[in-house]
């Protein structure tokens, strides 16, 4: 009788998706793809991956690039610390490993931004090291298959599953395919809602399928609610140019450009927004009108960004304000968070609306 891992590998050979990083001969490309896929879906990551590899085709080109250029090629993917860590790790690989990607999971895990999961994926796919990957997809498949009720968002549960998988990955000839097959099964068949058990190679021995309890796994302890933060953004124009401010290099979205305003204690009104602009830039803005709201979810909070358009502005920019008047044509060269890119699109669209 075939083992479950043989059945899984056969299923993978027949159903695997054709992805640009799959079968790529360069470990650097596999590494970039694994970092992009940490918090991003395959369909969203794919065009970014191709564009990133065209601009930074080797670890040396990535290490030598200006950080703003790297972030620009990451713009829209979110979780920008991934891009910063990727470049820091590239510089370390150039300096300490003669530009060669380390060939073991243990050495890979020493690099910034590479946790045990990513290290296992790269080492197994590129260097055939038999170390199991336990990501969200794999945890879902095996919590159902084994009927385990552990909280797989926690490290001990992931370690426990890795220990269980270890002899199975040791027994196959292609550890990289084994890991990719588990992840692919989670992505294509063992879906979070309504899993496609009739297409699954593990169905006959799957605890959740046999007991009709797929929806109960993986077990999720009650969700903590995500706090809401408020911010305002003000559109201020002078002589056909738009005022933008740059965030400090340190902290969330460091170095990114945005409309003036910033975080406020509660939902901002026009007066709060005018005060925020004055303290940030030194300008006195008047005739503020509400111009819509954008909501954006970060990993630990939800941001409500209220937009205003200023009818006028007086005074000069403070000397130490990180602010600049920018022509619309130059916006494409600057780095914006998704929320502020959407805010700009909204205000540009409002400007183009014909007057009633
Ligand atoms: S049989 Fe269904 S629940 Fe079990 S692993 Fe396969 S898809 Fe998931």
Give residue-wise pLDDT tens across range 259-288. Answer: 999 999 999 999 999 999 999 999 999 999
Question: Tokens in use for 242?
Answer: 């738009």
263 has catalytic annotation: no
| 33 pLDDT more than 70 | yes
The class that CATH gives domain 228-352 is alpha beta
Residue nearest to atom 2 of ligand 1 (CA): 197
Q: Cα(103) to centroid of ligand 1, in Å? A: 33
Q: CB of 334 closer than 6 A to ligand 1?
A: no
Q: Cα(230) to centroid of ligand 1, in Å? A: 42
| 254 pLDDT more than 90 | no
Q: CB of 139 closer than 6 A to ligand 1?
A: no
Q: Using CA atoms, how far apart are residues 100 and 92, in angstroms rounded to an integer?
A: 10
Q: Using CA atoms, how far apart are residues 124 and 157, in angstroms rounded to an integer?
A: 21
pLDDT digits (tens, 9 = 90+) for 285-311: 999 999 889 999 887 899 999 999 999
pLDDT digits (tens, 9 = 90+) for 119-167: 999 999 999 999 999 999 999 999 999 999 999 999 999 999 999 999 9
**What is the location of CATH 1.10.340.30 in the chain?**
4-216
Which is the catalytic residue, given 34, 129, 184, 258? 34
pLDDT digits (tens, 9 = 90+) for 157-179: 999 999 999 999 999 999 999 99
Q: CB of 214 closer than 6 A to ligand 1?
A: yes
Q: Cα(172) to centroid of ligand 1, in Å? A: 21
Q: Using CA atoms, how far apart are residues 53 and 71, in angstroms rounded to an integer?
A: 14
Q: Cα(353) to centroid of ligand 1, in Å? A: 51
Q: CB of 59 closer than 6 A to ligand 1?
A: no
Residue nearest to atom 1 of ligand 1 (CA): 203
Q: Using CA atoms, how far apart are residues 217 and 192, in angstroms rounded to an integer?
A: 9
pLDDT > 90: what percent of the chain?
Answer: 82
Neighbouring C-alpha atoms within 13 Å toward the C-beta of 265: 2
Query: Is 217 in contact with 144 (CB distance < 8 Å)?
Result: yes
| 352 pLDDT more than 60 | no
**What is the location of CATH 3.90.79.10 in the chain?**
228-352
Query: Is 244 in contact with 259 (CB distance < 8 Å)?
Result: yes
Average pLDDT over residues 232-251: 92
pLDDT the model gives residue 353? 52
Q: CB of 52 closer than 6 A to ligand 1?
A: no
| 39 pLDDT more than 80 | yes
Q: CB of 140 closer than 6 A to ligand 1?
A: no
Q: CB of 189 closer than 6 A to ligand 1?
A: yes
CATH number for the domain running over 4-216 = 1.10.340.30
Long-range interactions of 325-328: CB distance < 8 A, separation 24+: 325/238, 325/239, 325/241, 325/242, 325/243, 325/244, 326/241, 326/242, 326/243, 326/244, 327/240, 327/241, 327/242, 328/240, 328/242
Q: Which residue has the higher pLDDT, 79 or 189?
A: 189
pLDDT the model gives residue 356? 43
pLDDT the model gives residue 355? 42
Q: Cα(136) to centroid of ligand 1, in Å? A: 14
Q: How confident is the model at residue 63 (pLDDT cuts 50, 70, 90)?
A: very high
pLDDT > 70: what percent of the chain?
Answer: 97
pLDDT the model gives residue 332? 87
pLDDT digits (tens, 9 = 90+) for 189-241: 999 999 999 999 999 999 999 999 999 999 987 777 889 999 999 999 999 89
pLDDT the model gives residue 226? 86
């Amino acid at each position: 009788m075939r083992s479950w891992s043989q059945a899984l590998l056969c299923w993978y050979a027949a159903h695997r998706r054709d992805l640009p990083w799959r079968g790529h001969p360069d470990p650097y490309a596999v590494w970039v793809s694994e970092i992009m896929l940490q918090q991003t879906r395959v369909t969203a990551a794919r065009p970014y991956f191709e564009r990133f590899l065209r601009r930074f085709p080797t670890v040396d080109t990535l290490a030598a690039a200006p950080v703003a250029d790297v972030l620009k090629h990451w713009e829209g993917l979110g979780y920008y610390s991934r891009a910063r860590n990727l470049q820091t790790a590239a510089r370390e690989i150039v300096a300490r490993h003669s530009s060669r990607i380390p060939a073991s999971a243990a050495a890979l895990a020493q690099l910034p931004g590479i946790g045990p999961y990513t290290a296992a994926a790269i080492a197994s796919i590129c260097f055939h090291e038999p170390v199991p990957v336990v990501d969200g997809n794999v945890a879902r498949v095996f919590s159902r298959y084994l009927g385990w009720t552990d909280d797989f968002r926690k490290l001990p549960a992931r370690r426990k599953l890795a220990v269980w998988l270890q002899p199975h990955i040791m027994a196959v000839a292609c550890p990289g395919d084994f890991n990719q097959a588990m992840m692919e099964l989670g992505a294509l068949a063992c879906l979070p809602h309504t899993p496609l058990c009739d297409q699954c190679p593990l169905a006959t021995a799957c605890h959740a399928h046999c007991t009709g309890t797929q929806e109960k796994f993986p077990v999720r302890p009650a969700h903590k609610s995500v706090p809401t933060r408020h911010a305002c953004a003000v559109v201020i124009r002078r002589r056909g140019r738009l005022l933008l401010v740059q965030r400090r290099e340190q902290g969330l979205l460091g170095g990114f450009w945005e409309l003036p305003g910033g975080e406020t204690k509660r939902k901002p009104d026009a007066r709060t927004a005018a005060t925020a602009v004055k303290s940030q830039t030194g300008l006195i803005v008047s005739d503020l009108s509400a111009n819509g709201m954008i909501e954006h979810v970060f990993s630990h909070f939800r941001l409500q960004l209220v937009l205003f358009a200023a009818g006028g502005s007086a005074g000069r920019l403070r000397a130490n304000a990180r602010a600049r008047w920018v022509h619309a044509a130059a916006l494409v060269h600057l780095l914006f968070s998704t929320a502020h890119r959407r805010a700009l699109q909204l205000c540009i669209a409002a400007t183009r609306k014909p007057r009633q």
